[in-house]
Amino acid sequence: MNAFGRLFRVHVFGESHGASVGVNIDGVPAGLPLTVEDFLPDLERRKGGARGTTPRKEEDLPHLKSGVFNDHTTGAPITILFENNNTRSADYEKLRAFPRPGHADFVATEKFGGYEDYRGGGHFSGRLTLNLVAAGVIAKKLLGDTIHVTARITEVGGIADAAAGLEAAIAAKDSVGGIVECTVDGLPIGLGEPFFDSVESLIAHAVFAIPAVKGIEFGAGFAAAKMKGLEHNDAIIDASGKTATNNAGGIVGGITNGNPLVFRIAVKPTSSTPKEQNTLNIKSGEVETFSVKGRHDLCIALRVPVVLEAVTAMVLADLLLQVQRIPRIWK
Amino acid sequence: MNAFGRLFRVHVFGESHGASVGVNIDGVPAGLPLTVEDFLPDLERRKGGARGTTPRKEEDLPHLKSGVFNDHTTGAPITILFENNNTRSADYEKLRAFPRPGHADFVATEKFGGYEDYRGGGHFSGRLTLNLVAAGVIAKKLLGDTIHVTARITEVGGIADAAAGLEAAIAAKDSVGGIVECTVDGLPIGLGEPFFDSVESLIAHAVFAIPAVKGIEFGAGFAAAKMKGLEHNDAIIDASGKTATNNAGGIVGGITNGNPLVFRIAVKPTSSTPKEQNTLNIKSGEVETFSVKGRHDLCIALRVPVVLEAVTAMVLADLLLQVQRIPRIWK
Amino acid sequence: MNAFGRLFRVHVFGESHGASVGVNIDGVPAGLPLTVEDFLPDLERRKGGARGTTPRKEEDLPHLKSGVFNDHTTGAPITILFENNNTRSADYEKLRAFPRPGHADFVATEKFGGYEDYRGGGHFSGRLTLNLVAAGVIAKKLLGDTIHVTARITEVGGIADAAAGLEAAIAAKDSVGGIVECTVDGLPIGLGEPFFDSVESLIAHAVFAIPAVKGIEFGAGFAAAKMKGLEHNDAIIDASGKTATNNAGGIVGGITNGNPLVFRIAVKPTSSTPKEQNTLNIKSGEVETFSVKGRHDLCIALRVPVVLEAVTAMVLADLLLQVQRIPRIWK
Amino acid sequence: MNAFGRLFRVHVFGESHGASVGVNIDGVPAGLPLTVEDFLPDLERRKGGARGTTPRKEEDLPHLKSGVFNDHTTGAPITILFENNNTRSADYEKLRAFPRPGHADFVATEKFGGYEDYRGGGHFSGRLTLNLVAAGVIAKKLLGDTIHVTARITEVGGIADAAAGLEAAIAAKDSVGGIVECTVDGLPIGLGEPFFDSVESLIAHAVFAIPAVKGIEFGAGFAAAKMKGLEHNDAIIDASGKTATNNAGGIVGGITNGNPLVFRIAVKPTSSTPKEQNTLNIKSGEVETFSVKGRHDLCIALRVPVVLEAVTAMVLADLLLQVQRIPRIWK
């Protein structure tokens, strides 16, 4: 299934080099102002073109195919379509013999019996993060003026200065990974549930839907494993629940505690490195050297922040609907 | 909601000091041999009593209340109940003025309006991991003889030798966190889906249902963020999909690739440290010093491996059912 | 799966002659007053013992195993257990060669490979309607003082006077079917959605979970198929949405329109008729004559009204939660 | 939510006079041959144009926007779009003061606060049954060569001869209702579950998603309520489960029993009757006489059979996937 959410429910579809990619969002309250222009800033942030990102000029214009009328949501499911125009499928045809390391080529063929659309990663493509960003735009609107979701790169290739990290990668002519941190201010106390609907469970679920993410940690995260209890515990210091420290990252018992929600994710290096690589030639049955051609990001992590904000906002909008903090008719 | 899974669906319920804790498991194929004895080894592994774990002698005997007949599953939902007998609720009554740092006391009262069962953590209690372990026993049986899920402590309080880490904590009279690693051998290629049903999404979702988990990483995980593409990419070396390295932790594009599934989780220090702590006295409105009395684990991570195996097996059993690798009538 | 509901979610389990039957209800707001006594009137209504119903004295005492504390709901999942004590399994052992017409014996063996608990219908038993009634008690409380769900027998064996219909069946020494009508007053406008979440879809889904139900019709129902548009259309006559007639049964476009919700269900005759019947002897392979012994209702429809109210209340409580007409903390 | 299904999951979207209507179908196995041509026969059957149906020439060409590659399904979600070109929205603007009896106008405004797309019924429009038919085409393919779903009109306006019934309506210048019967041959034993996943529950749920349906009955249905047990029970006569009669309509205990699945639905008269009607003028606050203009079917039931087949096939495909009778890679 390609869907997520209980009351704010997002379904993604599409292929990199097929007719389109798109998203269907169900459960959006009626009356929310919404126009194509609302999507453009976040879609722009996601776009390639900057140094270290792909020069592919994508047609990223969202087409609102349902659920919007007179520039407001109607309460019916919203469908947003992005047409695919600027594709060079021939690039991929000749690569079929070489299942690209780090990509889904090999597993997709096993799983779908060779019927998968293999061009440009097909349904596995990072191009489908357009859908997540679009859903996130709506989710962010539902969060209102007091809740802010902000993600930023904190490390590229192990270097805290992202620009320097990227330069090092360019110099090395290899792709690199990175760390992205997300912070949410203004959340009420009480979102989430113990166990399977913990905020950590839901955010982690959504975050690992972003291609290339390989780790997530909340608050002190992995560092917490090395800490003592007295050091890690966040003392509550006032009746609003404010804590002296925030090692919990704003979540206790799976539930938001009114302090900033803080988490970090690890993004692996772009699998399509410019370097020559070894992999199996499935036709010859031999391990051979090959190169990924095409247009690729050197550091995909650079394009992740806006996607990370989007999936985080999706989870939070759903939880806010569940605790009735977002009305069913927008005011 | 307190449920998880699409075809192998687990619902947990109960409170630490209420009548019982229990679990309802729907979707188990008919004909699987199942007796009370099957549960005892994993329940024993989870139990307190060892050095650094709680001396509370819990009544951990599973009562099979439905779904089992003539020592086999029937195809109907299975309910397993654990009665609570050995509780000292009075310990908690006097603590109500002090919402314990790291615990859900404060957020639960906000979320449930003071109606929550606050005794011993109530529905948030680690005692409910009994339910997860019980569900995991059934899930492991469904994985069969060729798939093995193994979790082990790799670090206590920052020390790779778990025993030494625990001794350091005992000496410091403080609780400590730890790292648990899980490995799964024998998985077929093709479990999981891109995006929201990625194996990482599903496992992370389930894993963060375990109290005290604050981070998860797959394969190279956070280290991947510091790597270059050529270093991180796992070259495919034969037609079975075997890779030269396993930085991906056995998952590419959200889908198992036939190599061992490997991930690690960070467990925070037990919130109930023996140390004196500061927290708000909600009656006086002042920050005061208090101590958590009662019987607690110094390092809860030590009890996590069997729980981690359980939730991992739950996810995998569900995915194997989805790709029809587990039959609906067990043979 | 044995569950239903989005925000008010009910899971049933158990077998007629196993250890117990029970129900787990997730999504109940915290703070709702709830004691064992609340269940007794509706459980009493469901009970056998009256003329035409089974003389089996069931132990129908609900055990609240989780989710209730200090006589209020806690917001955690509620588990209610009914132990099975008064069972005569031997009655059923000898019948195994004869899959009873109208019962699930034959299909259960095919579906579950012979592993099903066949005693007294096992998991298919009408005894599991105890679970529905118990869930309905909680649902009705959530509907509050202004919404009333009332079901009543309108026909037994084709006779509008239920008592006369029953007497006719007793005289004929055969079981009979019946019609039950349900009316709900006081519903707000706007519950339900077009298409898959129409009120008709959800109620019909829940209603066919009651064993022996074979038809449902809303408002004019099947009579509508014979009507002309002008006759069938309900003219709106005031700003509250009140209509001159109620052929729609209170639902237009899948959504409640503020008029009474009205629907009827057809209940088939009890399959366990006292008459001799023909069926396959699966051991001999011949069609043979046999009799169902044991204790059975002559007209199961007589026990259905309280079950019908229960599943209707379940659906409505869920829908009211979805439109935020029931608060997450009960007041 | 506008979705249905567990493993074969259908999401509908769109508005009658908006940009488009469409459907997203998740869970379709990879490798199923699928082209635009496959949809045309059933879409043609649904189309208006025959006597008694709307003369509106709709653009009913399906656009396959995702999930299909090289004329086969890929295993990724399939999106099918129908553009709306031939709309006369002005017809509806002037009607806004008169919430049409039988239509969702009034409830939609209450539910969605006036933000709904009111043109031509908006998201409530029967035009969205295009989506159901399209999903049904795929579902029918999955049912294969041995399972046949056939629906036909059995009554128009109370007359068994549909043509005569329609002529009577034309003569009376009023719309009429009808009965549609659906039969499915070739089903295996064992689809469905007791209680909430009974075949009756699932089919009824799906069927009431079709606008204008007000009743459903399986097998003998409402007539069963007037029958005695001996008369109603279907004696099993051979080891394949074949029964002497089929009053159960092929379902016992919620589960298919290998006999033909048979059910009937009641379709109300088209709400848009040519007759003058009374309704509230919401501007004047008075009940006034008005006429529905526009292009409408006199007997919508005539267009329902193909839609009924579609939703039935959807349910069955899902259940067949659940019991692993449809492979995950089509062969």
List pLDDT tens digits, range B186-203: 999 999 999 999 999 999
Find out whether C257 and C250 touch, Cβ atoms under 8 Å.
yes
Residues 6+ apart with CB under 8 A from C218: C200, C203, C248, C249, C250, C251, C262, C263, D214, D215
- Known binding residue D284? Answer is no
User: Which residue, among B196, B320, B324, B329, would best test binding to D if mutated, counting the most D CBs under 10 Å from its CB?
Assistant: B324
| Count of CB atoms situated within 10 Å of the CB of D90 | 8
State the Cα–Cα distance between residues D180 and D198, nearest whole angstrom: 21
Question: In terms of Cα–Cα distance, which of D4, D10, D7, D6 is closest to D25?
Answer: D10
Question: Which chain B residue's Cα is nearest to D195?
Answer: B76
**pLDDT at A87 (0 to 100):** 64
Give the total number of structural domains in chain B. 1
The Cα of B208 is separated from the nearest Cα of chain C by a number of Å equal to: 18
Residue the block writes with tokens 């087949």: D309
Tell me how long chain C is.
331
Predicted confidence (pLDDT) at residue D180 exceeds the cutoff of 90: yes
* Residue D60 vs residues A14, C281, D10, D48, D83: alpha-carbon distances, Å: 22, 54, 19, 11, 8
Compute the average pLDDT of residues C95-119. Answer: 93
Compute the average pLDDT of residues C161-173. Answer: 95
**pLDDT at D59 (0 to 100):** 74
Kindly list the strands in the beta sheet with D9-14, ordered across the sheet, starting from the edge strand earlier in the chain: D3-4, D9-14, D20-26, D78-83, D63-66
**pLDDT at A89 (0 to 100):** 63
Using DSSP's 3-state secondary structure scheme, residue C266 falls into: strand
Question: In terms of Cα–Cα distance, which of A137, A324, B244, D92 is closest to C327?
Answer: A324
* Residue D203 vs residues D3, D126, D196, D207: alpha-carbon distances, Å: 14, 19, 11, 6
**pLDDT at D200 (0 to 100):** 98
Which of D99, D228, D255 is facing C175, going by the closest CB pair?
D228
**pLDDT at B97 (0 to 100):** 86
Residue A331 lies in a domain: no
Residue B56 lies in a domain: yes
Structure tokens at C32: 């709702």
D328·B327 Cβ contact <8 A: no
Lowest mean pLDDT among A256-265, C63-72, D42-51, D277-286: D42-51
Residue D191 lies in a domain: yes
Q: Is C329 in CB contact (< 8 Å) with chain A?
A: no
Structure tokens at B120: 């011993």
Supply φ then ψ for residue B168, to 5 degrees: -60, -40
CATH number for C18: 3.60.150.10
Compute the average pLDDT of residues C181-192. Answer: 98
Residue the block writes with tokens 């002309």: C228
pLDDT digits (tens, 9 = 90+) for C235-249: 999 999 999 999 999
Chain C residues with CB inside 8 Å of B105's CB? none
Q: Is C115 in CB contact (< 8 Å) with chain B?
A: yes
Question: In terms of Cα–Cα distance, which of D80, D55, B38 is closest to A13?
Answer: D80
Residue A277 DSSP code? E
- Known binding residue C124? Answer is yes
A13·D24 Cβ contact <8 A: yes
Sort strands B255-256 and C3-4 into parallel, antiparallel or unpaired: unpaired
Q: Is B115 in CB contact (< 8 Å) with chain A?
A: no
Question: Among residues 268-307 of chain D, which lie with CB inside 8 Å of chain C?
Answer: 268-273, 275, 277-280, 282, 285, 287, 301
B215·A201 Cβ contact <8 A: no
Q: Is C170 in CB contact (< 8 Å) with chain D?
A: no
pTM: 0.97
Supply φ then ψ for residue B184, to 5 degrees: -125, 120
Chain C residues with CB inside 8 Å of A325's CB? none
Lowest mean pLDDT among B279-293, C25-39, C164-178, C232-246: B279-293
B215·A222 Cβ contact <8 A: yes
C236·D301 Cβ contact <8 A: no
Q: Is C11 in CB contact (< 8 Å) with chain B?
A: yes
Kindly list the strands in the beta sheet with B3-4, ordered across the sheet, starting from the edge strand earlier in the chain: B3-4, B9-14, B20-26, B78-83, B63-66
Dump the DSSP string for B126-185: GGGHHHHHHHHHHHHHHHTTT-EEEEEEEEETTBSSHHHHHHHHHHHTS-B-EEEEEEEE
| Count of CB atoms situated within 10 Å of the CB of B174 | 21
Amino acid at C313: A
The Cα of C100 is separated from the nearest Cα of chain D by a number of Å equal to: 8
Predicted confidence (pLDDT) at residue C292 exceeds the cutoff of 90: no
| Count of CB atoms situated within 10 Å of the CB of B68 | 25
Residue C306 DSSP code? H
Chain B residues with CB inside 8 Å of C84's CB? none
Predicted confidence (pLDDT) at residue A284 exceeds the cutoff of 80: yes
Chain D residues with CB inside 8 Å of B327's CB? 324
Using DSSP's 3-state secondary structure scheme, residue A312 falls into: helix
**pLDDT at B49 (0 to 100):** 61
Compute the average pLDDT of residues D128-139. Answer: 98
Predicted confidence (pLDDT) at residue C231 exceeds the cutoff of 90: yes
Chain B residues with CB inside 8 Å of C24's CB? 11, 13, 24
A323·C324 Cβ contact <8 A: no
Residue B63 lies in a domain: yes
Which of B6, B322, B328 is facing D323, going by the closest CB pair?
B328
The Cα of C162 is separated from the nearest Cα of chain D by a number of Å equal to: 12
D21·A66 Cβ contact <8 A: yes
Question: Which chain D residue's Cα is nearest to A73?
Answer: D115
Q: Is B3 in CB contact (< 8 Å) with chain C?
A: yes
Q: Residues of A comprising the binding site for NADP(+)?
A: 46, 51
State the Cα–Cα distance between residues A291 and A272, nearest whole angstrom: 9
State the Cα–Cα distance between residues D255 and D96, nearest whole angstrom: 46
Amino acid at D118: Y
Range of the domain at B227: 3-322
Above pLDDT 90, what percent of chain A?
Answer: 87
Question: Which chain A residue's Cα is nearest to D6?
Answer: A1
pLDDT confidence bin for A49, thresholds 50/70/90: low
Structure tokens at B237: 């070396």
Q: Is B188 in CB contact (< 8 Å) with chain D?
A: no
Predicted confidence (pLDDT) at residue A57 exceeds the cutoff of 70: no
The Cα of B155 is separated from the nearest Cα of chain A by a number of Å equal to: 8
pLDDT digits (tens, 9 = 90+) for C51-84: 666 655 667 999 999 999 999 999 999 999 999 9
CA D119 to chain centre: 21
Kindly list the strands in the beta sheet with C261-267, ordered across the sheet, starting from the edge strand earlier in the chain: C148-156, C178-185, C261-267, C213-218, D213-218, D261-267, D178-185, D148-156
Lowest mean pLDDT among A6-15, A168-177, B48-57: B48-57
Compute the average pLDDT of residues D182-199. Answer: 98
| CA pseudo-torsion sign B245, B250, B256, B261 | positive
Chains touching chain D through at least 3 C-beta pairs below 8 angstroms are A, B, C
Chain D residues with CB inside 8 Å of B323's CB? 328
State the Cα–Cα distance between residues C189 and A197, nearest whole angstrom: 31
Compute the average pLDDT of residues C265-276. Answer: 95
Lowest mean pLDDT among A130-134, B49-53, C132-136, C302-306: B49-53
Find out whether B204 and A204 touch, Cβ atoms under 8 Å.
yes
State the Cα–Cα distance between residues C66 and B131, nearest whole angstrom: 13
Using DSSP's 3-state secondary structure scheme, residue B58 falls into: coil
pLDDT digits (tens, 9 = 90+) for C3-17: 999 999 999 999 999
Compute the average pLDDT of residues C193-219. Answer: 98
In chain D, what is the greatest distance between 2 CA atoms, to the nearest angstrom? 69
User: Which residue, among C170, C230, C234, would best test binding to D if mutated, counting the most D CBs under 10 Å from its CB?
Assistant: C230
Above pLDDT 70, what percent of chain D?
Answer: 94
Chain A residues with CB inside 8 Å of C324's CB? 324, 327-328
Using DSSP's 3-state secondary structure scheme, residue D179 falls into: strand
Residue D185 DSSP code? E
Q: Is B190 in CB contact (< 8 Å) with chain C?
A: no
Find out whether A55 and A163 touch, Cβ atoms under 8 Å.
no
**pLDDT at C97 (0 to 100):** 86
Lowest mean pLDDT among A96-105, D201-210, D263-272: A96-105
Chain D residues with CB inside 8 Å of B192's CB? none
The Cα of C285 is separated from the nearest Cα of chain B by a number of Å equal to: 24
Beta-ladder partners of A168: none
Compute the average pLDDT of residues C218-229. Answer: 98
Question: Which chain D residue's Cα is nearest to A66?
Answer: D14
Which of A6, A194, A328 is facing C323, going by the closest CB pair?
A328
| Count of CB atoms situated within 10 Å of the CB of D48 | 18
State the Cα–Cα distance between residues A157 and A176, nearest whole angstrom: 5
How many contacts (CB atoms, under 8 Å) link B and C? 165
Compute the average pLDDT of residues B139-158. Answer: 97
Predicted confidence (pLDDT) at residue D185 exceeds the cutoff of 70: yes
**pLDDT at C325 (0 to 100):** 97
pLDDT confidence bin for C87, thresholds 50/70/90: low
**pLDDT at B139 (0 to 100):** 98
Alpha-carbon radius of gyration of chain C: 21
**pLDDT at B121 (0 to 100):** 92
Residue C224 lies in a domain: yes
Give first-to-last CA distance, chain B, whole Å.
33
Above pLDDT 90, what percent of chain D?
Answer: 87
Q: What's the burial of B275, exposed, middle or buried (CB within 10 Å: 0-12/13-18/19+)?
A: middle
Q: Is C24 in CB contact (< 8 Å) with chain D?
A: no
Residue A330 lies in a domain: no
Amino acid at C48: G
Compute the average pLDDT of residues B106-134. Answer: 96
A217·B218 Cβ contact <8 A: no
Predicted confidence (pLDDT) at residue A191 exceeds the cutoff of 70: yes
**pLDDT at B55 (0 to 100):** 59
B27·C329 Cβ contact <8 A: no
Predicted confidence (pLDDT) at residue B291 exceeds the cutoff of 90: no
Structure tokens at B288: 């005061």
State the Cα–Cα distance between residues B48 and D271, nearest whole angstrom: 68
Predicted confidence (pLDDT) at residue C50 exceeds the cutoff of 70: no
Chain B residues with CB inside 8 Å of D323's CB? 328
State the Cα–Cα distance between residues D18 and D89, nearest whole angstrom: 9
A266·B103 Cβ contact <8 A: no
- Known binding residue D325? Answer is no
Above pLDDT 70, what percent of chain B?
Answer: 94
Residue B327 lies in a domain: no
Which helix (H) or strand (E) segment holds residue B258: the answer is none
Alpha-carbon radius of gyration of chain D: 21
Q: What's the burial of A111, exposed, middle or buried (CB within 10 Å: 0-12/13-18/19+)?
A: buried
Residue B252 lies in a domain: yes
Q: Is A241 left (phi over 0), alpha (psi -120 to 50) or beta?
A: left
State the Cα–Cα distance between residues D98 and D91, nearest whole angstrom: 13
Find out whether B3 and B9 touch, Cβ atoms under 8 Å.
yes
C81·B65 Cβ contact <8 A: yes
pLDDT digits (tens, 9 = 90+) for D5-63: 999 999 999 999 999 999 999 999 999 999 999 999 999 999 866 666 765 566 799 99
Chain A residues with CB inside 8 Å of B228's CB? 157, 169, 172, 174-176, 269, 273
Q: Is C113 in CB contact (< 8 Å) with chain B?
A: yes
Q: Is A322 in CB contact (< 8 Å) with chain C?
A: yes
State the Cα–Cα distance between residues A204 and C78, nearest whole angstrom: 27
Which of C200, C229, C241 is facing D106, going by the closest CB pair?
C241
Q: CA-CA-CA-CA torsion for B234, B238, B241, B245, nearest 10 degrees?
A: -30
